[in-house]
Amino acid sequence: MSLGSIVPREEKGFPFNLVICGVGGQGNVLGTQVIARAAVCAGLEVATGDTLGVSQRGGSVLSHVRLLREKRYGPLIPRHQAAVILGFEPLETLRAFSVYGNPQTKVLMNARPNYPLQVLLGESSYPSLEKIKGLLSRAGGVLKVIDAAPLALKAGSLLAQNIVLVGALTGIGWLPLPEEAFQAALKETFSPGALSVNRRAFQQGLRLGYLLFKNNLKSQDP
């Protein structure tokens, strides 16, 4: 199958297929929920699918988010049909791209690695960030890399990296969703106690996303 033939058959950009990937504990599922709720607030239909369960225990976690108009779809994106991949972790981004990416897929990736057991045991090596970036740039469409941890810390909690990344994806303008929909979605998702830190995290990401978009930067590093 040639690469040309695996370009998605989209009708006016729908279904819009987004893959969110990372490692158990990074908050994929919550990030997925925020985007899905924003979509419903914006009047779209949505289908999501999470692979979780024992995922808190260091496994790969992958969520499918499909923004829809009129027609319902299932929770799984077919191979090579992702419009956008939001990667919470570099190795997982590469893994997800190899299954769901195509030459037009846009990728927003968090730069912080999480090492698998077999890398810690010295049985295999973790590809360098440069190598991962190179592979993704060559195989896919646009690639942007950010470091969400410091922004999450600034917002008040390292755990809010997921919402920083969702904010950045919104700011960069790759989703067919307006920013206002996310404000409503955040309110729906988080209890009053957790809302303010996540709002700040979203704003941190959003600002960085705008910047990446406006200045057409590859990453937040100068």
For position 5 contacting another protein by CB under 8 A, the verdict is no
Of 18, 21, 30, 39, which one interacts with another protein (CB under 8 A)? Answer: 39
Compute how many other C-beta atoms are within 10 angstroms of the C-beta atom of residue 45: 16
Q: What are phi and psi of 15, to 5 degrees?
A: -65, 140
For position 58 contacting another protein by CB under 8 A, the verdict is yes
Compute how many other C-beta atoms are within 10 angstroms of the C-beta atom of residue 195: 13
Site string for another protein, 7-26 (x = CB under 8 A): --x-------------x-x-
Beta bridge partners of 86: 20, 108
Distance CA 67, CA 218 (A): 26
* Residue 122 DSSP class: T
Of 12, 70, 130, 192, which one interacts with another protein (CB under 8 A)? Answer: 192
Helix (H) or strand (E) holding 146: strand 143-146
For position 33 contacting another protein by CB under 8 A, the verdict is yes
- List residues binding another protein (CB under 8 A): 1-3, 9, 23, 25, 32-33, 36-37, 39-40, 44-60, 72-76, 78-79, 91, 94-95, 97-99, 101, 112, 114-122, 124-127, 135-136, 139-140, 149, 158, 188, 191-192
